[in-house]
Amino acid sequence: MALIKILPEYIENFSLRLHPEIDYVSSSLEPASSMSTGSMPLSPRPSKCLKNLIKPDQMGQNSYAVNSQGVPGFNQGDYETEIWMQNVNHFVRKANKDGLSVNVSGSLERYMALVNSSSEISRNSKRFEIVRFDPPFSFTKNSTVKNIIRKVLMPYYYSYYDMCEFGYSNYNTLNFFTGSLVPSDSAIIYPNLTVGSKPRPYNVPNAFSCDFYINPRYTNDVGSGFHAGTILHLSSTLAVSLISGSLTDQNDTASGFRLLLQLSHSADVAPHKIDLNIQNNKRSWPQDLSFTTPDNSILKNKWHHVSIRWGGKMTNDGTGSIHIDNNVTSFSIHSSSIENNNSEAVFLGNYYDGSDNEGKFFNNSAGLYEGVRPYDSAISADPTGFSLNHPLNAEIHDVKLFNKYISAKQISSFETNGRSNINEKGLIFYVPPFFVKDTPKRNVLITPFQTENISTSKPINTTYSFGVGGYMINLPNFMREFKRGEYPRLYNLTASTIDTTVLDITANDHSFGTGSIRKRNLTILPNDNGRFRPGFNLLVSGNIKTDMSEFKTAIGAINLGMISVNELITTESAFPGLPTVSVSDLQRAQDNDADSLPDDTGDNTLAFEVAGVSPTSMGGSSTITSDVLTIYQRTRDPSSNEITIFDISNLFYGNRILPESMYLTDHNITGSGGKVKMTLRDNGRGGLYRADALTAHPKWSNVGTVLYNEGVAVVKSPHIAYFGVEKFEAKFKGEQNIHMLSINMPASVGAINSSSNPSYQKLSASFAANEYDSDFVYITGFNLHDDNLNVIMRGNLSQPIKKRTVDEMVIRFKMDF
C-alpha cells in the first residue's frame, strides 16, 4: 500500500450541458389506446431479471418438503429463494462428501419456472407520466397545487416571466366552423336599424371599404366539396365569401381558396349559385356585380390581410380593388351607388337568404331573452322563410367597414396595427373582437334548469362555474361593435334551460351536449396572428366606458391587453364559518324543503341557505332562493377554475425545462368534434402563446404560463379550458448538467511495490529466463482520501494490474456526477 499525493495538475474536470428531448403523448379515452407514450421509468435501466420474492407464509404452505431422494423441494407457487438455495447447496455438499450422487434438475427446473413467472420488482414497472388536471369541485390536493402556483410560484417569478399571473391576453379571433355536433345555421347579427330620421348606421351609399384578417383553418371533409362560406353580408349591398380554389392537399381536400365579392343586387344571389367559370365583368345580370380573386390567392392555415375598396363612379373611373396581402385584384362598377337601402342587419359568419324582413331578428322576445335592442314593440318572432346555408369555415378578426374609399397608406397601416380610436373618419363598423365588461341584460344560465336576467362582466359565466361546475363563455362580452356600441343577436349560439325531466346529468353534460353551446364556447379563440398588433387603447377612447377592474395586473397596474381571471367573484359570495347541520340534513333540505331539518340544528336559516344547489344536485327546491356559490363555498378560491394544469416530474427534464422548447398540442379541442386543433408554444420568457398558423406567431400574446424550474405549465385562457382533457401531446427539451472529474494517479518507478494483504506472497512475475525484475504486486483498487485520510471515494479495477518495481504507469480514474 502506498500514499500518493494528488497534485492539482493531476486533476481534470469539465461539465456538459445536455438537452434531452421529450415527446410525450397521453393515453386516450378510447379503449384501443390505454397507455401513454413517452412516460419516464423510475429505474433508468430496468432489468426484467429482478423478481419479487414470494414468502411461504404468504401462501400458508410448507415450501421445504423433502422428496424421495431427500432433496429439499417446494410447492409450486411459493418459495423463498435464499433459504431454499442454501438447503439445496447444503444437501449437495453433504452428498458429495459421502460419495453419493443425486439429481436436483427437477427441483431446479421448477424453481426457475417459478422465478420466471414471478412478477418484476415494483421499481422496474414504476413509470411517471405528465399529470394533467382541472381544478376540482371540492378542496383536494389539486386545490392545494393550484393555490401554490397562484399564491407562491407566480408571485415569485412575476418579475422574470411575461404575464406570470392569473390573466391572459385580450387578443382574440372569431372562430367559425361546421361539424356534425354544432349547428350550421348560426350567425352573428348586428342591427342596422333606423333611429328616428337618421339613416341606417351601417349603410354605404356612395363608396365603401371593408377590411379584415382571415385564416381558413378548416377544409371540407374527405369525399365532400367545399361549400362557400360568407364572411360578411348586408342584404342588397355587400357580401364577401370564402370559396375554394384548385389547390388540394394529400387527402384531396381544399387547401387553396379565393374570395367572392358580391355588390348591390348581386349580393342577393346565394354565393353557391354564382357561376365561377365566367370571368369578372363578363357575368350577366343579376350576377354582373360579382367578382372573384385569382385562384389560390388565400392559403389554408395562413393569416391573410384583406382590404376591399370602391370609391364610386367618380373615383378611378368606377374601379375598385381587392387587396390580399400584396396582391391586388381590380374590378369595375359604373354605377353611382351599390346600396339598395334594404339591409336591416349585418351578418357575420353566414349569408342571409330570404325575402322576409331581417330586422325581425331584433324582436321583443329576442330583446328579453338575448339582450338585443328591439326592432319593433309589436314584433315578437323571428323572420320566416329564410335560410342560413353558407356557414363560414375560417377565423377572422379586426373586421372594419368604412363609408369611404380608404387610401393605400391606410391599408398598409391596417395590416400591422388595430384601431386605437373609433373616431377615425369614415369608420362605421368595427369588431376587433375585444373583451369589455358591460353587456345588455339577458337570460343567463345559473343552472341547466334556471336562468337569471342579468348583465355579465366576466369572460366566463361565474355563477354557472362556481355554483354547479359548468363551463360557459360570456360571448356577448367579446362581441361589441365599437363604433355604435351595438351588441349582436347570437343566432343559434345561445344557451337554453332543460325543461324536461332528466337524471344523472352534470352542468357540463348540458354544455357539451347542446350544439349551440358547443359552438358558442368555441366562437372566441386565442389569436395566433403575429403580423398584427391590436390597438388596446380603443378600450378607453370615444364612447367606450368599460370598467377597468378586469384589466388590472397582480400589482394593481392597468394593462388593457390583459384580462384578469384572478378574482372573478367577491368574498361576499361565501358564508362565514360552517353550518351546524350534518351533511345528510342539508341534503334532505336540498332535496325536499326546509321543514325536513331537525329542530335542534341551530341556525336553520343559515344551514338551509348554505345547502343551495351544487354540481351533484342542481335542481334545488322551490323554497331555496339563496345565490350561494357551492364550489366557492367549499374551496374559498375566487380565481378561475376554467384552467388546465400540467405537472411534469423532473425525471423528464433534469434541472429545468429548456426555454423556448415546449409545445403542447390538443388535436381535438373539447366540444369541436375533432374540427378544432390547437398548439401552444412557449416564448422563452415563461409565456404560452397559440402557434397553429403557418405564418408568424404573436409571441407576446399570453394564454398560459410555463415555470421552467418547477416543471409546471398552466393554460389560463378560459376559451380552451379543457385543453388536452381527452388526449394531448407534449414536446420539450430538458436541461441537465453532467460534471466529469478525471484524476490521473501516477504509479512511478520504485513506488507501489509492496502489499499489506495478509494473503500476499512474494512470487516471481514470470518464469521467463529473461525476466529482469521478478518482484511484483497486483493493483486491484484504490482509495481517495481527504487531508485527514478519510476515504471519500473508492475504485475497484475490473482486472488486476501487474506492477513491477521498475514499471511506471498512470491510472486514470473518471467520475461523472
Radius of gyration of the chain (CA): 38
Closest to 204 (Cα-Cα) out of 81, 102, 325, 333: 333
CA atoms within 13 A on the CB side of 636: 5
The pTM of this model reads: 0.85
Closest to 608 (Cα-Cα) out of 630, 635, 581: 581
Helix (H, G, I), strand (E, B) or coil at 701: coil
Query: Is the separation of the CB atoms in 516 and 493 below 8 Å?
Result: yes
Residue ranges of E strands in 264-338: 290-292, 298-299, 304-310, 319-324, 327-332
Which parts of the chain have pLDDT scores under 70? 1, 28-35, 53-88, 90-91, 196, 341, 541-547, 549, 573, 576-612, 619-627, 765, 769, 771-773
pLDDT of residue 762: 75
CA atoms within 13 A on the CB side of 358: 28
Q: 169: how many CB neighbours lie within 10 A of its CB?
A: 25
pLDDT of residue 32: 39
Cα angle 328-331-332, degrees, rounded to a multiple of 5: 150
pLDDT of residue 610: 60
pLDDT of residue 258: 97
Q: 256: how many CB neighbours lie within 10 A of its CB?
A: 18
d(CA 774, CA 80): 50
For residue range 377-398, list pLDDT tens digits in order. Answer: 788 899 999 999 999 999 999 9
pLDDT of residue 38: 85
Give the contacts of 298 (CB within 8 A, at least 6 positions apart): 214, 216, 242, 245, 256, 257, 258, 259, 304, 324
pLDDT of residue 2: 77
Give the contacts of 508 (CB within 8 A, at least 6 positions apart): 469, 470, 471
d(CA 91, CA 95): 6
Q: Tell whether omega for the bond before 659 is within 30 degrees of 0, i.e. cis.
A: no
d(CA 244, CA 28): 34
For residue range 322-361, list pLDDT tens digits in order. Answer: 999 999 999 999 887 787 767 899 999 999 999 888 999 9
pLDDT of residue 616: 81
pLDDT of residue 104: 74
Q: Which three cell numbers stand for residue 340?
A: 339598395
pLDDT of residue 356: 84
Q: Sketch out the chain's domains with CATH numbers.
A: 56-119 (no CATH), 192-353+388-418 (2.60.120.200), 356-386 (no CATH), 575-628 (no CATH), 737-816 (no CATH)
Helix (H, G, I), strand (E, B) or coil at 148: helix
Beta bridge partners of 729: 25, 665
d(CA 792, CA 745): 15
Sign of CA dihedral 124, 125, 130, 132: negative
Taken as a whole, the chain contains a residue count of 817
d(CA 188, CA 489): 6
Helix (H, G, I), strand (E, B) or coil at 660: coil
Residue type, 377: S
pLDDT of residue 33: 44
Q: 364, exposed or middle or buried, with CB in 10 Å at 0-12, 13-18, 19+?
A: middle
HEC string for 343-399: CCEEEECCCCECCCCHHHHCCHHHHHHHCCCCCCCCCCCCCCCCECCCCCCEEEEEE
